[in-house]
Structure 1
Amino acid sequence: MAIDELDARLLELLAQEPRIGVLEASRRLGVARGTAQARLEKLRTGGVIRGFGPDVDPAALGFPVTAFATLEIKQGQGEEVRRHLSGVPEVLELHTITGEGDMLCRLVARSNADLQRVIDRVVGFDGILRSATAIVMENPVPLRVMPLVRHAAGTAGTAGMEGKPAGPADSGRGPGGGGLNRPAPPARRRA
C-alpha cells in the first residue's frame, strides 16, 4: 500500500503518542477531523496499522533472555511443527526461511538455564531434525519501522514530528493503548 507524507506524519504521531485521540491528532496535523479519521481507517484496512495493543517487554515480564533458533524440519512436517511451536508460549515469532534451516524462531526465557528447558520443549518434537541456537547479547537496534515509514512516504531523512528527533517511539511495533482505535461518530449530511 502506498502512503504519502500525511500518512507518515499520522503514523509517527501515533508511534510517539499511542493514546492520542482523533480530534487531537487532526489538530496537531493541521487537517480536518474527518481527514484524520479517513486516513487512520485507510491505514487500518490496508494492513499498515495492525493493531493498537500495548507494546509488551518480555524482559519486564521476567523473560530477559532472548535467543534465535534455526530449525531443520522433516519433509512434509511443516504444518505439524507450526502447530507444535504455536503451543510454546516462549516462542515469540516463527518464520519460514531460505538458507541454513527451514524455520527461524525467536525465543525468550527466564535465564540461560531456563533457555535449555525452552529449547528442549521446542526441539522435543518428532518433526524437527536439527536446531542451532544463538543467544542475543544485546539489541542495539530494536525492531523499528518508522524510518521505513518515512522512506515509503518519500520523507526519508526528516526529523521526527515538529522537528524533534525520532526517539524511542520509533519502535513502530504498533501503537499501544489506543485512543485512535475508537470508531468515528456517524457523519452528518448537509441538506
Structure 2
Amino acid sequence: MAVDALDTRILRLLIEQPRTSVREYARILSIARGTLQARIDRLERDGVITATGPVLSPAALGHPVLAFVHLEVTQGHLDEVGEALAEVPEIVEAFSTTGGGDLLARVVARDNGHLEDVIQQLIQLPGVVRTRTEVALRERVPHRLLPLVESVGRATGAGSRK
C-alpha cells in the first residue's frame, strides 16, 4: 500500500501526539475531520496501523532485564513451540528466523536469576533442542518507526512527481 505525503503527516501526528483527538489532528493538518477519519480507517484496514494504545515499559513493570533467546527446534515442531512460547508471560515477542536458530524470543525478567528460570522453562518445552541467550546491556536505538514512515513518504512523494 502506498503511503503518500498526507498519510505521512497523519502517521507523524499519531506517533508524536498519540493522545490527541481526531478533531484536533484535523485542525492541525488543516483537513476535514471526515477526510482524516477515512485516511486513518484505510491505514488500519491496509495494516499500516496495527494497534493503538499505550506503549508499556517492562522495566517500569519490574522486569528491567532484557534478553534475546535463540531457540533451536526439532523439525516439524515450530508451530507447537511457538504456541507454547505464547503461554510464557515473560516473552514479549517471538519470531521464526533463519540462521543459527529457528526462533528468536525477546524475554524480560526481574533479575538474572529470574531470567535463568525462564530459560530453564523454555528448555523444557517439547521440541526445543537448545537455547542460546544474549543479554541486552543498554538500549542504543529505542523502538521507532517515524524515520521509516518519513522515508517511505519521501520515496512515494518523489515517485509521484515524475
Unaligned runs of 5+ in 2: 157-162
Instruction: Report what 2:10 is aligned to.
Output: 10
Q: Distance in 2 between matches of 1:155 and 1:101?
A: 34
Residue identity (%): 45
Q: Distance in 2 between matches of 1:54 and 1:102?
A: 30
Contact 1:67 1:108 in 2 (8 A): yes
- Give matches, 1:49-88, under 5 Å: 49-88=49-88
Instruction: Specify the code of the residue in structure 1 equivalent to 2:105.
Output: C
Instruction: Specify the code of the residue in structure 2 equivalent to 1:120.
Output: Q
Q: Distance in 1 between matches of 2:126 and 2:45?
A: 39
Instruction: Report what 2:35 is aligned to.
Output: 35
Deviation at 1:27, TM superposition (A): 0.6
Count residues in correspondence.
Answer: 156
Unaligned runs of 5+ in 1: 157-191
Q: Which has the higher contact order (CA 8 A, sep 6+)?
A: 1
Q: Distance in 1 between matches of 2:150 and 2:119?
A: 38
Deviation at 1:155, TM superposition (A): 6.8
Q: From the superposition, tell whether residues 100 and 88 of structure 1 become closer, same or farther in structure 2 (CA, over 3 Å).
A: same
Instruction: Report what 2:103 is aligned to.
Output: 103
CA deviation string 1:12-51 (max 9, x = no partner): 1111111111111011011111111111111111111111
Contact 1:5 1:155 in 2 (8 A): no
Q: Distance in 2 between matches of 1:40 and 1:54?
A: 18
Structure 1 segments of 4 or more deviating over 6 A? none
Instruction: Specify the code of the residue in structure 1 equivalent to 2:80.
Output: E
Secondary structure, counterpart of 1:154 in structure 2: helix
Secondary structure, counterpart of 2:60 in structure 1: helix
Q: From the superposition, tell whether residues 76 and 155 of structure 1 become closer, same or farther in structure 2 (CA, over 3 Å).
A: closer
Two-structure CA RMSD over aligned residues (Å): 1.3
Task: Tell me the TM-score normalized by structure 2.
Answer: 0.93
Task: Tell me the TM-score normalized by structure 1.
Answer: 0.79
Instruction: Report what 1:173 is aligned to.
Output: none
Instruction: Specify the code of the residue in structure 1 equivalent to 2:36.
Output: A
CA deviation string 1:83-103 (max 9, x = no partner): 111110001111000111111
Deviation at 1:126, TM superposition (A): 2.4
Q: Distance in 2 between matches of 1:147 and 1:129?
A: 38
Secondary structure, counterpart of 1:81 in structure 2: helix
Instruction: Report what 2:160 is aligned to.
Output: none
Contact 1:70 1:104 in 2 (8 A): yes
Secondary structure, counterpart of 1:61 in structure 2: coil
